[in-house]
Amino acid sequence: MAVKSVLITGCSDGGIGSALALAFQKRGLHVFATARTISKMSRLDGLPCVTLVTLDVTNYASITSAVEIVKSATGGTLDYLVNNSGVGYVMPTLDVDIEEAKRVFDVNVWGLLAVTQAFAPLVIATNGSIVNISSVGGLLYPPWLSVYTASKSAVTTISETLRLEMAPLGVKVLTAVTGTVHSNFFVNGPQHKLPPTSRYVSVEKSIVARAQGRDIQSGMNAAKYADRVVDDVLRGENGKIWRGKLASIVRYASTYLPTFVLDWLLLQQTGLDTFPTTRAKEAKLRI
């Protein structure tokens, strides 16, 4: 019986992709672990049945090269494609740098689409599965995260539409709606710097806390998250799966809680519930 194969994007050490690679490898699959820089996958280097591949999801030449590497190793097939690469961006919407916002969409959305299109023939050949890592943030409207959560909302929409389109071709599509997971995601994100002209200087501490992940009390262990997602994949699940801490709670809240309750919870987390009062106090101090 041929060994099944999986390609995972964004496998730098300490992240969800690396944890997924280890989980698949332990189940006996041949893992093609990818990242823009091979040296950032040192934890996976030298493991049996793991091939490290350079892949920049925003570069078509890089994607084409990765496809050829997989074709050569498997004879033109791929059982599972996991689109995990992603970048974050924390900034008030009024202060968003449009070029930085475009970069987020280039990686999180257009990169995912480009990789999916390139590897689709290999996955169709095995009647395999495509897994897209999305976020619960795409269901909410957390302040300071408009660009990132918009990109994840787009991922969910593309993924669920793809599920219907791929069904006649015998391919399953999973959307992993992910809650909080303990990883290096915030460590690898861009350093936060609020513009001096921002209207939100008075709550900058809360923005920095969000950018550094300090306002998230805890998250699911990445290995535990990966094991659950891999279980879903190998079990042949199709459609949305909810994994990570708070994922089930957000699923319920976004469906059943009134909007004003969700707004209150999100405003409390970011200091915006007292924002007008804070502004008034600062005005008095200046006088």
| Residues involved in catalysis | 148, 152
Q: Which two tokens stand for residue 144?
A: 């300071």
Q: Which long-range contacts (CB under 8 A, 24 or more apart) does 96-103 make?
A: 96/146, 96/147, 100/147, 100/190, 101/147
Lateral strand order in the sheet of 30-35: 50-54, 30-35, 5-8, 80-83, 129-135, 172-178, 239-243
CA distance 144 to 94: 10
Q: Other CB atoms closer than 10 Å to residue 193's CB: what's the count? A: 11
Please work out, in degrees rounded to the nearest 5, the angle formed at the alpha carbon of residue 112 by the alpha carbons of 97 and 55: 95
What CA–CA distances, in Å, run from 132 to 85, 93, 200, 202, 207?
9, 26, 34, 37, 28
CA distance 71 to 32: 11
CB neighbours of 24 closer than 8 A, spacing ≥ 6? Answer: 6, 8, 31, 80, 230
Q: Other CB atoms closer than 10 Å to residue 170's CB: what's the count? A: 12
CA distance 244 to 180: 5
DSSP 258: -
Task: Please report how many Cα atoms fall inside a 13 Å half-sphere around the Cα of residue 74, on the Cβ side.
Answer: 29
